[in-house]
Structure 1
């Protein structure tokens, strides 16, 4: 049996009101999706489905941890997940993804499967740079030390301690100024 069938919601017989669902996703969930981003994990999803005549609003709250591989050390670690996202499914004549948060579904759709949405929202909550927690403290410390960087220097030191407060003039500009004064 396909483990993703547990994420099916039969919407054909639902009245126009709010419904709540809870899903637990373990390693078999991530394996069944046949993807490479997340190998294993354990997350709980609380879903509030609000059905009306013209659309279905899905509000997801996903909490748990997924196994990641550190980009620096290749060590496995658990990345905590805590995200809240919404999805709108509007009834229409055909199926079409209008944006990241809005999809059209056919009016005669009897079942929606929320597994894909759960996976996408977990993926979006993960940091781009996958670092084991032991490296994160070092990176934060390095960022504090490198707040100010000298990008370019002409090699000419300016000295503002002159008594007459005249800025030092680059000798190349002084030579050009002499030409223009003639």
Structure 2
């Protein structure tokens, strides 16, 4: 997990006010998450952090391309992705465990904010439910060879005449009564 150390923001030495950070997200980032939907991509995360006395307001602007597999033709394609998110980080001296999706709670002794998990969640939530290279790709069309294979129907086999045991035939007649 050494790769994820670069996605930490040391806020303890920052003055009150706005600060900007930039993070590159690529295949190495996604390799750190074993069951990630996205396996590869090239994204840039611009993070604007506004530091106040007892809280941080963190705005994420993530833009770039992620590699997806088309659900129709199974080819890989680059899908442009753009998202904006916001999170609030509160500081407390108590052991307060009531975090929500929009509020993270840290103790007053914490000195850095790890945003790797947040970036991972935001990117994976941006993946469309059905990935189609025709809709999400950059002017791509589905693989015509694969579509041709999918559209051909298998040849219908002629049913073989089977001889039915007369005892089973008698049971069928009982069922129909």
Q: TM-score normalized by structure 1?
A: 0.69
CA contact (8 A) 1:43 1:65 kept: yes
**Deviation for aligned residue 1:35:** 2.7
**Deviation for aligned residue 1:96:** 3.6
Superposed, which structure 2 residues align to 1:1-182 within 5 Å? Answer: 2-92=2-92, 93-94=94-95, 96=97, 98-133=99-134
Q: What secondary structure sits across from 1:22 in the alignment?
A: strand
Q: What secondary structure sits across from 1:65 in the alignment?
A: strand
Q: What secondary structure sits across from 2:120 in the alignment?
A: helix
Q: TM-score normalized by structure 2?
A: 0.71
The alignment covers a number of residue pairs equal to: 138
**Could you say if the C-alpha distance between residues 15 and 94 of structure 1 is closer, same or farther in structure 2, counting changes exceeding 3 Å?**
farther
String of CA shifts for 1:39-88, please: whole Å, max 9, x gaps.
00000011000011111111010000111112222211111111111011
Distance 1:135 1:44 in 2: 19
| Correspondence for 1:143 | none
String of CA shifts for 1:68-125, please: whole Å, max 9, x gaps.
1122222111111111110111112236462211111111111111111111111222
| Correspondence for 1:142 | none
* Structure 2 unaligned regions, length at least 5: 142-177
* Structure 1 unaligned regions, length at least 5: 139-182
Runs in 1 of length 4+ with deviation above 3 angstroms?
94-97, 134-138
Distance 1:122 1:36 in 2: 10
Structure 1 vs Structure 2 CA RMSD: 2.2
Distance 1:29 1:4 in 2: 7
**Deviation for aligned residue 1:135:** 8.9
**Could you say if the C-alpha distance between residues 36 and 118 of structure 1 is closer, same or farther in structure 2, counting changes exceeding 3 Å?**
closer
Distance 2:9 2:96 in 1: 17
Distance 1:135 1:63 in 2: 14
**Deviation for aligned residue 1:33:** 2.4
Distance 1:25 1:95 in 2: 32
